[in-house]
Amino acid sequence: MDRDAEPPTFRSNLLPGSVTTTTSSGYASPPPSPRLRHCAKSIVQASLLLRLPVEVRTLILVAAFGDRTIHADLDLVDTPGGGAPALALPQTPARPSTPPDGPGGGGGGGGGGGVGTARRQQERDLVDLASADLEWKPTGHLCHRRCFDARRAPAALPAPLFVVDRDRCFTGGAALCSLPAHGLASCRIGALGWLLACRQAYVEGLEVLYRRNTFRLNESFALENMARIIAPASCAASHIARLSLSLTMGRPRVASDRIAYPRPRDAVQHLPSLFSLLPETFPGLSRLHLVLAGEMWPETQLSVYCSPSAVLHARVEGMLAELEGMMARFGALQHCEVAFDSSIYFPWLQVDRDLEIDFKDYADFEQCPYTVWRPLAADTQNVRRVPTDRRQLSGYWVCLDAWDAIPWSVMTDLPPAPGYLFTSFNSHFCRLCLRTIGGSSSYTSGKDANQTCSPLQASEQTPLLDDPGSDRGRPDVAAHAKIRRSRFRDAAIFSWALVATAAFIVLAVWVQHNQQTHPPSSSPPAPAAKRNLVFMVSDGMGPASLALTRGYRQHVEHLGRGDVLVLDRHFWGTSRTRSSSSLVTDSAAGATAFSCAHKSYNGAISVLPDGRPCGSVLEAAKRAGYTTGLVATTYVTDATPACFAAHVPHREMMDDIALQEVGQGTLGRSVDLILGGGRCYFLPNNTAAGCRQDDIDVTKIAQEKHGWSYIDSRSAFDALEGGDKVTLPLLGLMARGNVPFELDRRNHNDTYPSLKEMATTALRALERATAKSDKGFFVMIEGSRIDHAGHINDPAAQVHEVLAYDATFQAVLDFIQSSDTETVLVATSDHETGGLATALQRPDEKEATYDWYPAVLDRATASCEHLAGKLKAHSTSTGTSTGGAGTAALRKYAKDELVVKGLGVPAADVTDSEIDRLVEAADDAERAKTILTEIISHRAHIGWSTHGHTAVDVNIYSSGGPGTDALRGNVENTEVGDFLRRYLDVDVDAITTELQASSRRSDELAGVMRARSGAFDEYHGLLKN
Residue-wise pLDDT tens digits, 645-657:
999 999 999 999 9
Looking at residue 722, the DSSP 8-state letter turns out to be G
| Measured CA angle at 164 (ends 163, 167), to 5 deg | 145
554 CA to centre of own chain: 12
d(CA 1008, CA 53): 70
Q: Tell me, what's the pLDDT at 261?
A: 44
Q: Tell me, what's the pLDDT at 240?
A: 76
Q: Tell me, what's the pLDDT at 293?
A: 73
Q: Is 824 helix (H, G, I), strand (E, B) or coil?
A: strand
Mean pLDDT of 238-250: 74
Beta strands (DSSP E) in 303-365 are 335-341
Closest CA to 857 of 842, 871, 838: 838
Q: CA–CA distance from 158 to each of 165, 361, 406, 550, 575 (Å)?
A: 6, 19, 14, 19, 35
**Of 426 and 662, the one with more pLDDT:** 662
pLDDT for 299 beyond 80: no
Mean pLDDT of 75-80: 46
Mean pLDDT of 432-454: 30
Q: What is the pTM of this model?
A: 0.54
Q: 310-327 and 342-353 helices cross at what angle (nearest 10)?
A: 100
Tell me the range of 170-184, 310-324, 388-402, 473-487 where mean pLDDT is highest. 310-324
Calculate what percentage of the chain has a pLDDT beyond 70: 55
Tell me how crowded residue 620 is: count the other CB atoms within 10 A of its CB: 26
Q: Tell me, what's the pLDDT at 277?
A: 77
**Of 274 and 596, the one with more pLDDT:** 596
Q: In the beta sheet, which residues pair with residue 76?
A: 136
Q: Tell me, what's the pLDDT at 256?
A: 40
pLDDT for 91 beyond 70: no
pLDDT in tens, 277-293: 777 777 778 777 777 77
Tell me how crowded residue 75 is: count the other CB atoms within 10 A of its CB: 14
Q: In the beta sheet, which residues pair with residue 576?
A: 972
Q: Tell me, what's the pLDDT at 690?
A: 95
**Residue 587 falls in the annotated catalytic set:** yes
Q: Tell me, what's the pLDDT at 590?
A: 98
Mean pLDDT of 875-884: 69
Dihedral (Cα; 597, 599, 600, 604), 10-degree rounding: 40
pLDDT in tens, 956-966: 999 999 999 99
From the number of C-beta atoms within 10 Å of its C-beta (0-12, 13-18, 19+), residue 215 rates as buried
Phi-psi region of 487 (alpha: psi -120 to 50; beta: other; left: phi over 0): alpha
Calculate what percentage of the chain has a pLDDT beyond 90: 43
Whether the CB-CB separation of 854 and 563 falls below 8 Å is answered with no
**For the chain, what are the domain ranges?**
213-381+390-407, 536-819+829-837+950-995, 854-941
Closest CA to 601 of 78, 1010, 1018: 1010
Q: Tell me, what's the pLDDT at 494?
A: 58
Q: Tell me, what's the pLDDT at 109?
A: 33
**Of 847 and 82, the one with more pLDDT:** 847
pLDDT in tens, 703-733: 999 999 999 999 999 999 999 999 999 999 9
**Of 47 and 233, the one with more pLDDT:** 47
pLDDT for 198 beyond 90: no
Whether the CB-CB separation of 887 and 880 falls below 8 Å is answered with yes
Tell me how crowded residue 780 is: count the other CB atoms within 10 A of its CB: 28
Judged by average pLDDT, the poorest of 155-169, 299-313, 967-981 is: 155-169
pLDDT for 1014 beyond 90: no
Whether the CB-CB separation of 1025 and 609 falls below 8 Å is answered with no
Judged by average pLDDT, the poorest of 182-191, 548-557, 947-956 is: 182-191
Specify binding-site residues: 539, 638, 640, 782, 787, 791, 830-831, 949
Beta strands (DSSP E) in 17-162 are 69-78, 134-142
pLDDT for 576 beyond 90: yes
Mean pLDDT of 593-599: 98
pLDDT for 418 beyond 60: no
Q: Tell me, what's the pLDDT at 315?
A: 84
Q: Tell me, what's the pLDDT at 645?
A: 98
Could you tell me which CATH class the domain 536-819+829-837+950-995 is placed in? alpha beta
pLDDT for 670 beyond 80: yes
User: In this structure, is the dihedral angle defined by the CA atoms of residues 78, 80, 82 and 87, taken in order, positive or negative?
Assistant: negative
Q: Which helix (H) or strand (E) holds 292?
A: strand 287-294
6 CA to centre of own chain: 50
Closest CA to 136 of 237, 223, 229: 229
Phi-psi region of 660 (alpha: psi -120 to 50; beta: other; left: phi over 0): alpha
Q: Tell me, what's the pLDDT at 278?
A: 79
Looking at residue 177, the DSSP 8-state letter turns out to be -
Q: Tell me, what's the pLDDT at 184?
A: 28
Q: Which helix (H) or strand (E) holds 571?
A: strand 571-576
pLDDT for 815 beyond 90: yes
The 3-state DSSP composition of the chain as helix, strand, coil percent (nearest 5) reads 40, 10, 45
Q: Tell me, what's the pLDDT at 269?
A: 75
Mean pLDDT of 189-204: 48
Q: Tell me, what's the pLDDT at 193?
A: 44
Tell me the range of 20-29, 408-417, 552-561, 991-1000 where mean pLDDT is highest. 552-561
- Alpha helical stretches, state H, 418-476: 427-438, 446-451, 455-460
pLDDT for 176 beyond 90: no
The DSSP line for 373-411 is --EEP-SHHHHHTS-S-GGG----EEE--STTPPPGGGG
pLDDT for 1024 beyond 60: no
Q: Is 711 helix (H, G, I), strand (E, B) or coil?
A: strand
Q: How do beta strands 822-828 and 954-958 pair?
A: antiparallel
d(CA 726, CA 765): 6
Q: Tell me, what's the pLDDT at 68?
A: 63
Mean pLDDT of 582-610: 97
Mean pLDDT score of the chain:
70
Judged by average pLDDT, the poorest of 170-179, 223-232, 303-312 is: 170-179
The DSSP line for 199-260 is HHHHHHHHHHHHHSSEEEEESHHHHHTHHHHS--TTTTGGG--EEEEEEEESSPPPGGGTTT
Q: 543-556 and 795-818 helices cross at what angle (nearest 10)?
A: 90
Task: Give every CB contact of residue 176 below 8 A, 6+ residues apart in sequence.
Answer: 163, 164, 166, 168, 169, 170
Q: Which of 220, 587, 600, 937 is catalytic?
A: 587
d(CA 386, CA 394): 11
Q: In the beta sheet, which residues pair with residue 75?
A: 137
Dihedral (Cα; 687, 691, 692, 696), 10-degree rounding: -30
pLDDT for 611 beyond 50: yes
Q: Is 336 helix (H, G, I), strand (E, B) or coil?
A: strand
Band of the pLDDT at 50, cuts 50, 70, 90? low
| Letter string b/e over residues 572-593, b meaning 16 or more CB atoms within 10 A of that residue's CB | bbbbbbbbbbbebbbbbbbbbb
Q: Tell me, what's the pLDDT at 61?
A: 65
